[in-house]
Each structure stands twice: as structure tokens, then as C-alpha cells.
Structure 1
Amino acid sequence: MQTKNLMEIRNATAEDAPAISRLIGSVARFFTLQPDGAGAEDFLKTISPESVAGYLTDPRFAYFKAEQDGALAGVVAVRDASHLYHLFVDASCQRQGLSRQLWDHARAAVRDTNPGYFTVNSTPYAQPVYERFGFVATGPRVETKGIAFVPMRLTIA
């Protein structure tokens, strides 16, 4: 596995919403049941630029971005200091340790208010990544409204 230098990770702002929406949309095929997103319209609305801008301005969210050569490489968001809401890495930057860097950054950012656990609804594709982070499945794979996910939890020691 190739590992690049640590990327700069910083707070995302509402101005980043269109780029974040594009990034998440570019990897949507990994969690929609149909490659074209058919049936997942409700979910796809939640990653629209308008919806993402709402998360970025909502105080319940801690939202961060990583850039490489001026382009968005990855994003991470934690809601209510305990739910890993978004963790997406551009396809060209995957398998280089960026998801770990983003996760570590977000986890540290909410450390003081975290209730002792994190939850995530992992895409089946990303489940091995979350397992490496220490998450365990809390139920079977769920298929609903055009998407698939596995509910997972990480208890902080």
C-alpha cells in the first residue's frame, strides 16, 4: 500500500458544500443498491450542496476537509460528538491512509464532548476500514430506500 505524506486537514465551511457534494456523489455507487442511484433519491438529496451547506453551518456537526494540490481529497463529519456521519475519500486518494488521518482528526476534535462511543452506518464497501478503526457491527446489513449500510459501534476504552 502506498502512503502519501500527511495532508493538511482543516475545518470545512459552507463555501465547500458544492465540492463536498460532488465528492460524495462521485463515490455513491459504493452504497447505492443500483449503480445509477435509482431508488436512493431521498438519500441523494441529503448530499446535495444545499443539504451539505446545512450540515456545515449546524453546530451539532464537526466537519473537516483534506485537500491535495488545491483539490478536495476527503471529508469527515461527526454529528453530536458521537456519530460518524460522513467519511468519504476521493477515489484517486483511496488506500493511502487518508481515511485514517481524517478519522483521527475528527475523533480528536470531539474528544472532550464524546460520550464514550461512536456509531456509524457503514457502507458495505467501507466496513473493513471501520473494522480496522475498531468499530464492530451491531446488526446485519440493512437495505432500505435504495442504499445499503451496516450499523456499527466503537466503544472508547
Structure 2
Amino acid sequence: MTEAVAATFRIRPLVPADAGTVSQLVLSLSHRFLDDPGGASARRLLATLSPDAALERLASPHFHGWLAEDSSGACGLILMRDTTHLYHLFVREDRQRRGIATALWQRALSQLGAIAATRVTVNAAPGAVAFYRALGFTASESLHEEDGLRFLPMALSLDASTAG
């Protein structure tokens, strides 16, 4: 990531008041991870992405997250569950490929370093597998299809140098 790109956004901790922003950002990208956005199983999943559901997660001590913002507002977010599972990592479509996701991942690692697990998992949407591989994640199972989602379970083993 170049200095010019790094200077175009800032990263701050997510707070419960960000629940609507989290919900809106994730829902705006749902077409990328849902097989049938109008299907019954998708509706069940989409309900878990509502502002109320996001608020419940952000208020929980089991979740830690950060929000990337630029001059246009919220442009990306990362949410970790119990320091062992990368729960959400999303970047607005018009801001992708600018180093935001990588910066969010690095922030999470540096902030959680002292308490992070030695292994982090993620359920990667097919379109995000290459990105996670570039971060060092490897497939831990075969491709899953459930509740309108297709995802590849992946894991990353951390060591002291990785965790920041």
C-alpha cells in the first residue's frame, strides 16, 4: 500500500452507534455472497444483517471491529468474533482495490495481537478466496453451500510476527 492510498482513509474502532452503517454496508454487498438474494434462506440470513442484529454484535464483548472512512463516509469494515473468527470484512464496491481491506486486517491484527488466538478462521465468499489466500489463509474444508450462501472455510495460523 502506498502512502498516497493510506492517506485517503482513516480507521477507527466500531461502536454500537455504527450499527446502521454496518448493516447498510454489508447489505449493499449481499449480492456478492448470496446465491439467490430473493430466496427464503437468503431472507433468513439478511435478517441477521439488520441494524438491530448489528447493534447486538457491536455491543457484545465477543466482537471487536474497525471502520474505514474516507471523504465519502464509511468505505469498509472488519469485525472479529472472539479474536478467532473473521466475521465480516467488507469494502464498498467503489472503494475496492485501494488497500482498505488489507489495512483493516492489519489494524485488527495489531489491536488484537496480545489477545489473538493462534488460528483465525473465515468463511470466504468465492469471490474473496484469492484475497484471503494473499493474506495467508488456506482452505480448511471444501466449498460449503447452506442457507443461500456458498463459502469456503479457511484458516490462518498466526505466529508472534504475524499478530503484530
TM range (shorter): over 0.9
- The amino acid of 1:54's aligned partner reads E
Q: 1:103 aligns with which of 85, 102, 105?
A: 105
User: 1:1-157 alignment to 2 at 5 Å?
Assistant: 4-6=5-7, 7-34=9-36, 36-38=37-39, 39-157=41-159
Name the count of aligned residue pairs.
Answer: 156
Stretch moving more, 38-47 or 24-33: 38-47
The C-alpha deviation readout for 1:41-90, integer Å capped at 9, x for no partner, is 22111111000011111011111101111511001011111110110000
Contact 2:6–2:99 (Cα < 8 Å) also in 1: no
> How far did residue 136 of structure 1 move?
0.2
> How far did residue 140 of structure 1 move?
1.1
Contact 1:29–1:37 (Cα < 8 Å) also in 2: no
What is the TM-score when the length of structure 1 is the normalising length?
A: 0.93
Structure 1: 4+ residue segments shifted above 3 A: none
Contact 1:37–1:146 (Cα < 8 Å) also in 2: no
Stretch moving more, 3-12 or 64-73: 3-12
Give unmatched runs, 5+ long, in structure 1. Answer: none
> How far did residue 117 of structure 1 move?
1.0
User: RMSD of aligned C-alpha atoms?
Assistant: 1.6
**1: CA distance between counterparts of 2:38 and 2:22?**
18
* Percentage of matched positions with identical amino acids: 33
> How far did residue 4 of structure 1 move?
2.1
Give unmatched runs, 5+ long, in structure 2. Answer: 160-164
Contact 1:84–1:120 (Cα < 8 Å) also in 2: yes
**1: CA distance between counterparts of 2:87 and 2:149?**
15
> What is the aligned partner in structure 1 of residue 162 from structure 2?
none
SS at match of 1:113: coil
**2: CA distance between counterparts of 1:132 and 1:103?**
12
> How far did residue 129 of structure 1 move?
0.5
